[in-house]
Amino acid sequence: MNRLFGLTGLCLILLLAGCAGDPPHPKTPRQALYGLGNRAAEATMAAPNWQVPIDERVLLLAPPDIDTGLPFDTEQFRETLTRALLAQHGGPQVLNWTPDQATNAIPENQWLLKSRLIAEGPALALSDRRLLPYRLELDLRRPGDTQPRWQYRIDGALDASAL
């Protein structure tokens, strides 16, 4: 009987130790890009130019411009950014926007978010992985404006094995 409890306790300890270990490595592009999308969403929601409360904001999300040197496509990043924006506390409404949509009589609560993800040089080879340096540029503007009212830049590197 004591032996049974000893084995059960040992299994429980090993199970808990496994849960407390390293988190699982990302297996899909969505998971690999999640952190970048979340950082971009937090920065966007903290932009000082908003003129309406967070729960009244509507973001028109332009198709991202993705550098061909990065191994994922526009829709993968757009989905990640959309999900991150929608996950913000009390977050905005997010609508996909295309350049051919009319910009006449846009309500004051609607803002256009443009993003550009650029490969910043060749991949960096480490002993156990390759890192892909990037720069993400965000700009927030009123639809129809030629100049952004807010710009933000995030520099980093993505683990190529997670893509």
Q: What is the pLDDT along the chain (163 residues), one digit of tens a residue?
A: 555 445 454 444 444 444 444 444 444 545 668 889 999 999 999 988 787 887 888 999 999 999 988 888 888 899 999 999 999 887 889 998 876 665 567 788 889 999 999 999 888 888 888 889 999 999 999 888 889 999 999 999 988 776 5
For residue 97, the model assigns a pLDDT of 84
How many whole angstroms separate alpha carbon 141 and alpha carbon 124?
34
For residue 107, what are its two tokens?
């309500």
Residue 121 region by backbone torsions, left for phi larger than 0, else alpha for psi between -120 and 50, else beta: left
Number of Cβ within a 10 Å radius of residue 88: 17
Query: Under a CB-based contact definition with an 8 Å cutoff, are residues 105 and 96 in contact?
Result: no
Q: Indicate the helix (H) or strand (E) that contains 14.
A: helix 2-20
For residue 28, the model assigns a pLDDT of 52
Mind listing the pLDDT tens digit for each residue in 117-134?
Answer: 999 988 888 888 888 999
How many whole angstroms separate alpha carbon 110 and alpha carbon 107?
6
For residue 22, the model assigns a pLDDT of 42
For residue 51, the model assigns a pLDDT of 77
For residue 125, the model assigns a pLDDT of 87
